[in-house]
């Protein structure tokens, strides 16, 4: 089964403070670690919301709002897709990520796969 | 914390951490038996401590530190013992006592690779290698390995004990093979990964046609290996191959658990993420300009299927050409059989049958159920329904898999209808 492990932006990140070389090294080290565990299928980080946009759709009308978005604590900073046996296993990998990189919040969510829709 | 919770946490931690813990320990103490025993001791210590104090914030760190401490303690005692023997024997004492301060943690990648090389050592039979690797490198329990192979737990336990004994008797200790020996050792590792994958992808026994949990283990192992040897193009080829094959796992099982063959699969059910990973690996092999080995070639063939949006879009002439290359380097009759299928699709059933016929007398192919299955399919395509029916029936008689037998019987019955209709 697959899990998406997402971590969230801090206000500093949203304000464009780039990760320190130490933080970058920690993230690189984590990617290497989880690849060595054979569980990492993919993952990316994203820029602050000022570099993005939001689409709001109501009654078929699409409204495009340029970033930055207001609520920084709710914004995803990056994600990884892990292939593991259980939620508990995904949590252990998320825990490593949190300990190595010092992020403040990580969500672990199960990815919908074809067999779930049967 | 409730006991049940703690057990579950430890079971998960064993799965995630034990390969690393064991790998680090093997480098320190040298042999698998002691390393595994010390790893278990560390987990037992965790149960005792955590039952009262709760699980620490960094349980993996705690386990690794404790295991290292136990190993150092063991080495000290072993050295003291040796030292005493030496005094009794009145030999000149050499400075063999381990300076604990000198133990620096080596690179985890090296430790893991060393563990993989040990558990996939060529002196072990492929069965023993698979069992040992699933247990030590994938962190499965003996019971889980047994369930994966549909074997009694005692059989697997025996197999593991015997394997470790064989390694100990040959005095095989932790080591990283040098550049000269590495290709052969990596080949032995890849063989294990592919063997485990295939047993999951096309089960040789039992009631079910696929066993996805074995495929998952092989993928985990393959991904691990590829991350440890990122420049080895054949390992990347192997991983590309199994990623691409696994992308079809759910599509190749019908509603009744019956096999759905490649050409009949609903391609919208193919796993796009795995296809993308497989294709990216193939590009990486090209970038590395690696010599094209058997796994990389098979991956290139699998990629032709992955790229075809519908069965009709399949580039069969390219697949046939890739099989020409593959036959040349493997000279395997099974590959030749696959080439026959590709040639049949590319240039017509008669051309395929011309490749199959010589194989019918091949001694290694006697008893191989897929040979008459292919011959039946090609004969059917050529309009020889009675001949096809005979082939399907012999295939049904040869397979030990229930689902495959059923499919072959159905195809034989279809041929009989055709035959009756044509006369």
* C-beta atoms of A36 and B250 within 8 A: no
Domains of chain A: which residue ranges?
A: 2-113
The residues with which A107 forms a beta bridge, in sequence order, are: A6
ipTM of the complex in this document: 0.91
How far is the alpha carbon of A18 from chain B, nearest alpha carbon, in Å?
A: 27
* A39–B227 C-beta distance less than 8 A: no
Sign, Cα dihedral of B3, B9, B12, B14: negative
Inter-chain residue contact A38 with B112, CB threshold 8 Å:
no
Q: Which residues of chain A does B15 touch, with a Cβ-Cβ cutoff of 8 Å?
A: 85, 89
Q: What is the CATH number of domain B1-90?
A: 1.10.1740
Instruction: Decide if B16 and A93 are in contact by the 8 Å CB cutoff.
Output: yes
d(CA B278, CA B157): 35
Q: Report, as an integer, the average pLDDT of A34-44.
A: 93
Q: Residue B97's pLDDT is what?
A: 46
Which residues make Cβ contacts (< 8 Å) with residue B418, sequence separation at least 6? B380, B385
* pLDDT above 80: residue B243: yes
Mean pLDDT over B148-169 rounds to 93
> What is the per-residue DSSP string for B95-136?
S-S--GGG-----HHHHHHHHHHHHT-TTS-HHHHHHHHHHH
What are the extents of the domains in chain B?
Answer: 1-90, 106-172, 189-314
CB proximity under 8 Å: B 308-367 to A: none
pLDDT score of B85: 62
B9, B61, B109 member nearest A36 (Cβ): B109
Contact B15 A99 (CB under 8 A): no
CA distance A86 to chain B (A): 8
Does B6 reach chain A within 8 Å, measured CB to CB? no
Residue in chain B lying closest to A1 (CA): B216
Residue from A2, A4, A36, A40 to probe the interface with B (highest B Cβ count within 10 Å): A36
Q: Which residue on chain B is closest to A95 by alpha carbon? A: B58
Identify the H or E element spanning B294.
Answer: helix B294-307
pLDDT at A23: 86
Do B106-172 and B1-90 have the same topology in CATH? no
pLDDT over 80 (residue A9): yes
Cβ pairs bridging A and B (under 8 Å): 61
- Per-residue exposure over B117-134, b if at least 16 CB sit within 10 Å of its own CB, e if not: bbbbbeebeebbbbbbbb
List beta partners, residue A42: A81
Give, in order, the Cα–Cα distances in Å from A55 to each of A52, A66, A72, B84, B299: 10, 9, 17, 77, 40
May I ask the CATH class of domain B106-172? mainly alpha
**Which pLDDT tens digit goes with each residue over B88-141?**
555 444 444 455 555 556 788 999 999 999 999 999 999 999 999 999 999 999
Cβ-based neighbours of B356, under 8 Å, separated by 6 or more: B337, B340, B371, B374, B375, B378
Residues A2-113, CATH architecture: 2-Layer Sandwich (3.30)
Q: Which of B13, B15, B228 sits opposite A36 (nearest CB)?
A: B228
Provide the pLDDT for residue B318: 96
Predicted pLDDT of residue B96: 44
Contact indicator for B103, B28 with CB cutoff of 8 Å: yes
Model confidence pLDDT, tens digit, residues B351-376:
999 999 999 999 989 889 999 999 99
Question: Mutate which of B16, B60, B217, B277 to test chain A, going by most A C-beta atoms within 10 A?
Answer: B16
- Residue B92 has a pLDDT of 47
Reported pTM: 0.87
């Amino acid at each position: 089964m697959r899990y998406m492990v997402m971590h969230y932006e801090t206000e500093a990140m949203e304000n464009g403070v780039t990760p320190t070389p130490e933080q970058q090294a920690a993230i690189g080290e984590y990617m290497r670690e989880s690849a060595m565990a054979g569980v990492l299928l993919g993952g990316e980080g994203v820029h602050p919301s000022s570099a993005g946009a939001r689409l709001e759709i109501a009654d078929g009308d699409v409204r495009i709002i340029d970033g930055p978005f207001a609520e920084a604590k709710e914004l995803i900073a990056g994600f990884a897709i892990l292939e593991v046996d259980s939620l508990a296993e995904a949590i252990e990998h998320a825990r490593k990520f949190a300990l190595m990189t010092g992020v403040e919040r990580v969500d672990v969510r199960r990815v919908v796969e074809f067999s779930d829709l049967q | 914390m409730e006991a049940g919770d703690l057990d579950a946490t430890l079971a998960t931690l064993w799965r995630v951490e034990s390969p690393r813990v064991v790998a680090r320990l093997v480098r320190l103490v040298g042999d698998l038996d002691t390393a595994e025993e010390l790893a278990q001791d560390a987990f037992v210590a965790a149960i005792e401590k955590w039952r009262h104090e709760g699980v620490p914030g960094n349980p993996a760190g705690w386990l690794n530190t404790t295991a290292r401490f136990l190993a150092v303690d063991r080495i000290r005692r072993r050295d003291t013992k040796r030292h005493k023997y030496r005094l009794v024997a009145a030999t000149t004492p050499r400075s063999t006592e381990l300076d604990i301060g000198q133990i620096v943690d080596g690179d985890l990648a090296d430790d893991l690779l060393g563990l993989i090389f040990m558990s996939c050592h060529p002196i072990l039979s492929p069965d023993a290698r698979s069992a040992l690797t699933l247990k030590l490198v994938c962190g499965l329990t003996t019971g889980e390995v047994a369930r994966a192979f549909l074997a009694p737990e005692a059989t697997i336990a025996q197999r593991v004990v015997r394997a470790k004994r064989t390694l100990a008797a040959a005095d095989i200790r932790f080591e990283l093979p040098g550049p000269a020996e590495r290709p052969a050792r990596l080949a032995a590792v890849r063989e294990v990964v592919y063997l485990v994958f295939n047993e999951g992808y096309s089960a040789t026994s039992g009631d079910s046609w696929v066993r996805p949990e074995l495929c998952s283990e092989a993928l985990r192992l393959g991904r691990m290996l590829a991350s440890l040897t990122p420049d080895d193009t054949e390992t990347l080829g192997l991983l590309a191959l199994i990623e691409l094959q696994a992308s079809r796992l759910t599509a190749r099982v019908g509603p009744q658990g019956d096999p759905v063959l490649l050409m009949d699969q609903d391609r919208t059910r193919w796993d796009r993420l795995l296809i993308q990973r497989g294709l990216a690996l193939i590009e990486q092999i090209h970038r590395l300009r690696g010599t094209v080995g058997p796994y990389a070639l098979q991956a290139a063939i699998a990629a032709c299927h992955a790229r075809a949006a519908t069965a009709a879009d399949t580039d069969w002439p390219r697949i046939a050409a890739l099989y020409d290359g593959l036959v040349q380097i493997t000279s395997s009759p099974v590959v030749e059989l696959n080439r026959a299928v590709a040639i049949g699709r590319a240039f017509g059933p008669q051309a395929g049958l011309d490749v199959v016929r010589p194989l019918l007398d091949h001694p290694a192919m006697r008893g191989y159920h897929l040979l008459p299955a292919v011959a039946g399919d090609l004969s059917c395509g050529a309009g020889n329904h009675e001949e096809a029916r005979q082939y399907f029936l012999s295939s049904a008689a040869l397979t030990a898999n229930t689902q495959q037998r059923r499919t072959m019987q159905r195809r034989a019955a279809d041929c009989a209808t055709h035959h009756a209709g044509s006369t």
